[in-house]
Amino acid sequence: MADTVAQFEHVISICRDLFVKKLKDYGASWRILRPQSLTDQIFIKAKRIRSIETKGESKIDEGIRSEFIGIVNYGIIGLIQLHLGYADTEDISNDEALALYDKYMTETKTLMYAKNHDYDEAWRSMRISSYTDLILTKVCRTKQIEDNEGKTLVSEGIDANYMDMINYSLFGLIKIEYGEQDD
């Protein structure tokens, strides 16, 4: 499990590093995005991953790795937006945005470590393409919950779906970063 934690921390640091750099470039301009727009952005990224997996090639000089990173970061932004609500302007500092990123990544990571324990690292035997399909399924579920104004009868909410999308993306990044082959 120690290796697993180190791998997760490594890929999370890659995602966080990009988030920090984008904060310096753009500030917290994403504060204007409604959660539905974030769900659609994650959908676009997951569809591109699936397209590359299906076609076996990419005509843009970025592969699926960058899209998984994007899903992680947009998922964290989604969790922040669910908590704060969207704004009409950038209403938080970069330091506040980073503190919120760390808070929601910690919550997501805690959930993932608990599930990883209970499922005995079953994700390692899964194909990266299955992570893609599961992310797309979670996006569809999230869109339905959004259409239902956030109400569910027996299912987990939007926040849990965002956390699952983040964690499936982290699984994919670990397999890409560490060269683990699909089983």
Q: Please report how many Cα atoms fall inside a 13 Å half-sphere around the Cα of residue 71, on the Cβ side.
A: 34
Residue 54, pLDDT above cutoff 60: yes
Residue 86, pLDDT above cutoff 80: yes
pLDDT of residue 59: 84
Contact 42, 3 (CB under 8 A): no
Q: Please report how many Cα atoms fall inside a 13 Å half-sphere around the Cα of residue 167, on the Cβ side.
A: 24
Q: Which amino acid is at 72?
A: V
The alpha carbon torsion through 86, 90, 91, 95 (nearest 10 deg) reads 110
Q: Tell me the pLDDT band of 183, cut-offs 50, 70 and 90.
A: very low
Helix 35-55 / helix 64-84 crossing angle, nearest 10 deg: 170
CA distances to 41, 51, 73, 88, 152 from 47, rounded to whole Å, are: 10, 6, 16, 29, 25
pLDDT, tens only, 108-122: 999 999 999 999 999
In the block, residue with structure tokens 């890409």: 176
| pTM listed for this prediction | 0.95
